[in-house]
Amino acid sequence: MGILLSGVSLLAQTNAPSGAQPAEPKTSSSSQGGDAGKIRTALEEHVNGKAKGIEILTDTQGIDFGPYINEQVLRSVRWNWNVLLPDEARPPQSKQGWIVIDFYILKDGTVAGMKVVDSSGDITLDRAAYGSIKNSVPFKPLPAQFTGHYLGLRLHFSYNTAAKKPGFSISPVESTVAVSSSVQFRAVENDKDAAVTWSITACNDSCGTISPTGLYTAPPKIPNPPKVGICAKLIGNPDYNVEATVTVIAPKP
């Protein structure tokens, strides 16, 4: 569980926050050329899953905002998020959710244009993520060498979920199986069978077994609760995993 903040990526956007100054004029061609390589590399890393959790939405003017974001923004947001973390997100319930929030830091460290762009569907999880940013305001003023009016950021909050890799999926996502019976799971990456390690999660005990090839066999008795989590992790990159749920039921008479 955490805010996926292992890297910073750049998005070539210039969306203005509500009530803030108009968008900055485009920089000179020479300045753009200097930033282009950084932006392209960062975007490639983001697509490949190397940069996760926080994105810069506005022009950086070639300034390295890494130290400012890590020391002045993320440290405070992490602390406040941990304080506001709802009980259902903690063990043993460990509720899952994924929230994405956009906001803009003005020159004096205040925030404008804050909004949830991707909700978890659970108001308590969303409120904790939103409050972690709101309670961190004001941040330190933006670096003096930055002449822009604001810095746009997008923050990804993850509750008990891992990063998802495009093209990596599991099937079936949900299934039902009788006690002592089996169901075959398949992990796919870009329409081809993926090399993964299989495991059982979200189950107390007597959950059944899963083979190295993804064959799940239910226990002889219905577990409590009857839903069992199935997880597939990429062998080449275990930071990425996909999950499915199987419900164990009594056999038909």
One-character DSSP codes across 143-157: PTT--SSEEEEEEEE
| DSSP 8-class letter at 163 | B
More confident residue, 10 or 195: 195
pLDDT above 70 (res 225): yes
pLDDT confidence of residue 82 = 87
- pLDDT band at residue 49, thresholds of 50, 70 and 90? very low
pLDDT above 60 (res 13): no
User: What letter represents residue 62's amino acid?
Assistant: G
pLDDT confidence of residue 248 = 94
Residue that the structure tokens 């899952």 belong to: 96
pLDDT confidence of residue 95 = 81
pLDDT confidence of residue 115 = 94
Strands laid side by side in the 215-217 sheet: 182-184, 215-217, 209-210
The predicted model gives 7-23 an average pLDDT of 37
pLDDT confidence of residue 165 = 66
pLDDT confidence of residue 167 = 80
pLDDT above 90 (res 135): yes
Q: Which two tokens stand for residue 168?
A: 């990596």
Percentage of residues in the chain having pLDDT higher than 70: 75
The predicted model gives 213-224 an average pLDDT of 93
Q: Which of 31-40, 110-119, 120-129 has the lowest mean pLDDT?
A: 31-40
- Nearest to residue 214, comparing CAs of 227, 197, 236? 197
Dist. CA 59–CA 53, nearest whole Å: 18
Whether the CB-CB separation of 103 and 133 falls below 8 Å is answered with yes
The predicted model gives 80-88 an average pLDDT of 89
Strands 111-118 and 168-171: unpaired
Enumerate residues 6+ apart whose C-beta is below 8 A from 26. 32
- pLDDT band at residue 185, thresholds of 50, 70 and 90? very high
Dist. CA 228–CA 223, nearest whole Å: 8
The predicted model gives 128-139 an average pLDDT of 95
pLDDT confidence of residue 193 = 92
Dist. CA 67–CA 56, nearest whole Å: 13
pLDDT confidence of residue 204 = 63
Which ranges of the chain does DSSP label H, i.e. alpha helix?
29-47, 66-68, 75-84, 123-134
| DSSP 8-class letter at 17 | P
The helix/strand/coil state of 70 is: helix
Dist. CA 67–CA 72, nearest whole Å: 8
pLDDT confidence of residue 224 = 86
- pLDDT band at residue 150, thresholds of 50, 70 and 90? very high
Counting Cα atoms < 13 Å in the Cβ hemisphere of 162 gives 16
Residue that the structure tokens 């983001």 belong to: 46
pLDDT above 70 (res 24): no
Whether the CB-CB separation of 126 and 34 falls below 8 Å is answered with no
Dist. CA 25–CA 96, nearest whole Å: 41
- pLDDT band at residue 166, thresholds of 50, 70 and 90? low
Whether the CB-CB separation of 108 and 79 falls below 8 Å is answered with no
